[in-house]
Chains A and B, each alone.
Chain A
């Protein structure tokens, strides 16, 4: 059973607000990811991290930022939300040294910006 959690599950917020999407995992995985998912579209990698104090931008340009102060925690922040940020955000983690490419996903946060 994968132990990766995301909060909130659903968020409706007005334009211009600052938001933070939380992601935590209890598996001790060094690598963590944020994907953006829109209906009928492939998952797009927006951020990833190799471990504490490591953050990298993914394939899809994003106005969000991430931090990795603790191994288990990988929050994503939008400083000023806009309607174009409306999407589902999926957090994932992996242990590439043991199972390369096998990702464990959280349940996602569905964000709506009005």
Chain B
């Protein structure tokens, strides 16, 4: 069965510092991979996705992620964090065995220090 782990429950960085959020997955084939962001009191918003091709994908708000098949990872990065990036970040993988639904990780909460 598919699964997603996000090893860091909570990360704190200073504004302007670089950021890397980790995502590891278990999947039987080449997965579709996603990062979503959830701001307080809001639903989830898609940051970026990987389906195939170039393993480095660019997303909104200056985020990027790199698919590494050998490490079963899809880490999210940003070179310089802004205070508005404070949120919860979810990695997702799929589709499932029925080709329909996707599995979300437990999320990483990002705090940004001024």
Contact = CB atoms under 8 A, between A and B. Distances in A.
A107 B94 CA distance: 23
B104 A48 contact: no
A90 to B, nearest CB: 6
Interface residues on B, range: 20 to 34
Nearest to B3: A42
Given A42-B106, A43-B104, A58-B101, A101 B43 contact: no
Contacts of B71: none
Interface residues of A, number: 25
A42 B4 contact: yes
Contacts of B94: 101
Secondary structure type dominating chain A contacts: loop
B9 interface: yes
Interface string A31-73: 0010100001111010010000000001100000000000000
Nearest to B91: A42
Given A101-B32, A101-B94, A101-B95, A41 B43 contact: no
A43 to B, nearest CB: 4
Contacts of B43: 4, 6, 90, 92, 105-108
A108 B42 CA distance: 7
A42 B44 contact: no
B42 A107 contact: yes
A104 B4 CA distance: 20
A43 B103 CA distance: 8
Contacts of B90: 42-43
Contacts of B51: 100
A8 to B, nearest CB: 13
B95 to A, nearest CB: 7
A103 B32 contact: no
Contacts of A43: 44, 90, 104
